[in-house]
Amino acid sequence: MTHPLVEQIVAAISRVAGSPPVPLHAPRFGGNELAYLKECLDTTFVSSVGPFVDRFERELAAYTGAKHAVVVVNGTAALHIGLLVSGVLPGDEVLVPALTFVATANAVAHCNATPHFVDSCEKTLGIDPQALRTYLERNAEVRNGCCLNRNTGRVIRAIVPMHTFGHPADMQGILDVAADFNLTVVEDAAESLGSTYHGRHTGIFGRVGTLSFNGNKIITTGGGGALLTNDVALARSAKHLTTTAKLPHRWEYRHDEVAYNYRLPNLNAALGCAQLEQLPVFLAEKRRLYKKYREALSGVVGVRLLGEPEGCVCNFWLQTLILDDDVAVLHDSILAATNDVGLMTRPAWVTMHRLPPYRDCPRMTLRVAESLERRIINLPSSAILGSEGAL
Amino acid sequence: MTHPLVEQIVAAISRVAGSPPVPLHAPRFGGNELAYLKECLDTTFVSSVGPFVDRFERELAAYTGAKHAVVVVNGTAALHIGLLVSGVLPGDEVLVPALTFVATANAVAHCNATPHFVDSCEKTLGIDPQALRTYLERNAEVRNGCCLNRNTGRVIRAIVPMHTFGHPADMQGILDVAADFNLTVVEDAAESLGSTYHGRHTGIFGRVGTLSFNGNKIITTGGGGALLTNDVALARSAKHLTTTAKLPHRWEYRHDEVAYNYRLPNLNAALGCAQLEQLPVFLAEKRRLYKKYREALSGVVGVRLLGEPEGCVCNFWLQTLILDDDVAVLHDSILAATNDVGLMTRPAWVTMHRLPPYRDCPRMTLRVAESLERRIINLPSSAILGSEGAL
């Protein structure tokens, strides 16, 4: 027999999202996408340089308020290079949330550094700065300007706050801890294009911030990402490292560092420019969708729909339902029931410290992250579901 | 005063390539490119999965004769993963030509391994197996099934032949050395799509081969690459490592290895499918262009146009002029004179052991590679220059 709560949730999603099949998040191409792609073909500029690359970088910087943007092949590449240019060295540790997509931890590993997992805050789903401070006071110390992990003897070089499903983390709290423990802040804003924290766009609080334009994100380039920074030297260094460190010359192929081929093709940047033009519409629709879900779920006891933390504007990239503790046992039943009827939902990620490659990494107590992992369900979140013409 | 040879070469290129500006290599989009891109937008499949990804993999395998193809974000990524799945470990050495694009060496470095530079053959521009054998006999030994570098004490795990500008390397000679010294062969066929060695496509002689579809290649996906292999386990492993090592599940996000986001977006694969349909035309045009250059340069003393080694079919991706020793001093004057009048030419790459990041890597005597570096000039090579309608 199906639990009444499961039925109530299926019914609420149905009322908002309409007839199945409903994907979790479909991109929408209602603007200049085809025209810009055609322009790439007509000019033959489809590859690693081109006017759309430059334009996309300019427009991302203007939109977010960062002084510089460097576009790259995806969000993982952005974070990898963001960590490198921020000074993360092989053998370092980097604080990352346990509750995140695996790319956050992988990017640290790609630097030959070790992720060190941090607990989450029930309200923001991001890093909990209070719990982290207490933990660091007991387990770390600043010596010669570096934060040392007393247990491993390694330097904790940086911290990577991530804005979960578009909800801004407690940046002020995190910046304060980072300042007190000499940690470089590299902000993983992969999911939060369009979200602001106290009036400033997410991704511009640290030394570097990163974005993702994967197919499931609020805007997409097919695959793509970007680094954001206010530091011109870091921006130059990021551009250099992501373009094989080639020195400018009329014909010579000379490179001065071990570097990467992380360039975003002009073809993908063209898609990004067209998508960015529509971002204000997508944001309005996603906000309207949030309100529709809030209304549809208002009578349902045992769940809450994640809203905006105080002082924050959320892009509502993925609508997020959080089960109360006493109904957490229904988590998988709800996922099964919704997906069975073609209303696509998903849980949060398996927390990083439970994945085989990261099982032995250092970590604090991860009580809240583990609890959230058992209680989060993302609802169908395509912008079109919140459009004026929708149900 | 300009040397007569410089003037003769400018005149010959002019006769073949027509009025400036003539780029070194422009892609051509004369087929289904726009239709396939539109199909991506219409179906919303622009990102990391989609029918064009599967189709491009199938068609690349069929075209090359490899049992499996795995498409990725670029040629560097293909080579990085190709080395990893072939068993290259941190601390190993990998034999790579000194005369190559920097990606070959970078991919080795991305495995935390050390490139070990090998000399070239004057005739093929690829690795010289005879010189390599003599060098290994003096400096390496096989112990417990591994090839040990006696000077560094490290394992030499693999060898990466590269088919320079599309000209097949001496694969039989290289395979023989590899067999005798227990070296795994990972073939860098980034430049040689369409080139065959004794009837078999380049890239399928080693455990893994790799392709590139950068904007300057014979076909382009904007940015893209592929792994080729006949080993189903390696293909699966490559697919897994390039797609964040996510385990299949209806909704769960669980990953079992430190892995990469190297997926080729469906948008880029769509371009690749349209381009691959035109490859036979491009190959015919490039062959015709080769003949036109050969004719135009036939009276010019002091240079040779690189033709096909015996038993090989070359894709003639980049037309390659090689100066005789006694006129090598004119190399930069020819580059300057041609580029000054808008006929774009380029040299080979600065050899790897002369780049700051690879200066201290182990290497054999690189006499031929260093000589070729001073004598190679690539001529304007767009397929369209060899089309029926061209000059």
Question: In the block, which residue shows the tokens 């809240």?
Answer: A368
Q: How far is CA A182 from its chain centroid?
A: 24
Q: How high is the pLDDT of residue A123?
A: 96
Q: How high is the pLDDT of residue B107?
A: 98
- What is the edge-to-edge ordering of all strands in the sheet holding A200-201? A200-201, A196-197, A312-313
> What integer is the mean pLDDT of A122-149?
97
- pTM of the predicted model over 0.80: yes
- Taking an 8 Å cut-off on Cβ atoms, the answer to whether A253 and B76 are in contact is no
pLDDT at A47 over 90: no
Residue A32 DSSP class: S
pLDDT at A114 over 60: yes
Q: How high is the pLDDT of residue B13?
A: 98
Residues of chain B neighbouring A216 (CB-CB closer than 8 A): 47
Which of B24, B25, B37 best probes binding to A when mutated, by most A CB atoms within 10 angstroms?
A: B37
Q: How high is the pLDDT of residue B391?
A: 55
Over residues A55-106, the pLDDT tens digits come to 999 999 999 999 999 999 999 999 999 999 999 999 999 999 999 999 999 9
Q: What is the largest CA-CA distance in chain A?
A: 73
- Taking an 8 Å cut-off on Cβ atoms, the answer to whether B255 and A102 are in contact is yes
Min Cα–Cα distance to chain A from B218, Å: 13
- Which CATH number, 3.40.50.170, 1.10.260.40, 3.40.50.620, 3.90.1150.10, labels domain B4-28+279-386? 3.90.1150.10
DSSP conformation letters of A78-132: HHHHHHHHTT--TT-EEEEESSS-HHHHHHHHHTT-EEEEE-B-TTTSSB-HHHH
Helix (H, G, I), strand (E, B) or coil at B119: coil
Name the residue of chain B whose CA is nearest to A334's CA. B251
Amino acid at A332: D
Residue in B73, B55, B38, B34 with CA at minimum distance from that of residue B226: B73
**CATH class belonging to A33-275:** alpha beta
Q: Which residues contact A120 (CB under 8 A, 6 or more apart)?
A: A97, A98, A99, A126, A127, A128, A164, A366, A368, A369, A372
Name the residue of chain B whose CA is nearest to A31's CA. B41
Q: Where are the domains of chain A?
A: 4-27+277-386, 33-275
Rg of the Cα atoms in chain A: 21
Over residues A197-252, the pLDDT tens digits come to 999 999 999 999 999 999 999 999 999 999 999 999 999 999 999 999 999 999 99
Q: Does A26 touch chain B (CB under 8 A)?
A: yes
- Taking an 8 Å cut-off on Cβ atoms, the answer to whether B261 and A44 are in contact is no
Min Cα–Cα distance to chain A from B119, Å: 19
Min Cα–Cα distance to chain B from A180, Å: 31
Continuous H helices in B225-357 = 232-242, 266-277, 279-296, 331-340
CB atoms within 10 A of CB B217: 25
Q: How high is the pLDDT of residue B166?
A: 98
Min Cα–Cα distance to chain A from B123, Å: 22
Q: Does A214 touch chain B (CB under 8 A)?
A: yes
Q: How far is CA A79 from its chain centroid?
A: 10
Q: Rounded to an integer, what distance in angstroms lies between the CA atom of residue A264 and that of residue A221? A: 9
- Taking an 8 Å cut-off on Cβ atoms, the answer to whether A222 and B253 are in contact is no
Q: How high is the pLDDT of residue B390?
A: 64
The ipTM estimated for the assembled molecules is 0.96
Residues of chain A neighbouring B260 (CB-CB closer than 8 A): 76, 106, 110
Q: Rounded to an integer, what distance in angstroms lies between the CA atom of residue A268 and that of residue B239? A: 22
Residues of chain B neighbouring A38 (CB-CB closer than 8 A): 34, 37
Q: How high is the pLDDT of residue A391?
A: 55
Sign, CA dihedral A62-A64-A67-A71, equals: negative
Q: Does A101 touch chain B (CB under 8 A)?
A: yes
Q: Does B359 touch chain A (CB under 8 A)?
A: no
* Total CB pairs under 8 A between chain A and B: 187
8 A C-beta contact, residue B319 and residue B13: no
Nearest to A222 among B33, B251, B265 (CB): B265
> What integer is the mean pLDDT of A107-117?
98
Q: How far is CA A38 from its chain centroid?
A: 30
Min Cα–Cα distance to chain B from A54, Å: 16
Ramachandran area for residue A44 (φ above 0: left; ψ -120 to 50: alpha; else beta): left
Q: How high is the pLDDT of residue B245?
A: 97
- Taking an 8 Å cut-off on Cβ atoms, the answer to whether A222 and B263 are in contact is no
Continuous H helices in A140-231 = 171-180
- Which CATH number, 3.40.640.10, 3.30.479.30, 3.40.50.300, 3.40.50.880, labels domain B33-277? 3.40.640.10
Q: Rounded to an integer, what distance in angstroms lies between the CA atom of residue B185 and that of residue B161? A: 8
Beta partners for B321?
A: B305, B377
Mean pLDDT by 10 residues, chain B (391 residues): 93 96 96 98 92 98 98 98 98 98 98 98 98 98 97 98 98 98 98 98 98 96 97 98 97 97 97 98 98 96 95 98 98 98 98 98 98 98 88 55
Angle ∠(B131,B134,B138) on CA atoms, nearest 5: 140
Q: Angle of helix A51-64 relative to helix A33-43, nearest 10 degrees?
A: 140
Helix (H, G, I), strand (E, B) or coil at B196: strand
Name the residue of chain B whose CA is nearest to A349's CA. B253
- Taking an 8 Å cut-off on Cβ atoms, the answer to whether A74 and B261 are in contact is yes
Please report, to the nearest 10 degrees, the dihedral formed by the alpha carbons of residues A92, A94, A100, A103 taken in order: -40
pLDDT at A390 over 70: no
Amino acid at A321: L
Q: Rounded to an integer, what distance in angstroms lies between the CA atom of residue B156 and that of residue B91? A: 9
Q: Quote the tokens at residue A309.
A: 């933390």
CB atoms within 10 A of CB A47: 23
pLDDT at A320 over 90: yes
Q: Which residues contact B111 (CB under 8 A, 6 or more apart)?
A: B80, B83, B84, B88, B89, B90, B92, B94
Min Cα–Cα distance to chain A from B308, Å: 25
Amino acid at A281: V
Min Cα–Cα distance to chain B from A80, Å: 11
Q: How high is the pLDDT of residue B149?
A: 98
> Between residues 160 and 199 of chain B, which touch chain A (CB distance below 8 Å)?
none
Which of B267, B275, B379 best probes binding to A when mutated, by most A CB atoms within 10 angstroms?
A: B267
**CATH class belonging to A4-27+277-386:** alpha beta
C-alpha distances out from residue B357 to A363, B208, B351, B353, B354, Å: 35, 26, 12, 8, 9
Q: How high is the pLDDT of residue A293?
A: 98
Q: Rounded to an integer, what distance in angstroms lies between the CA atom of residue A390 and that of residue A341? A: 20
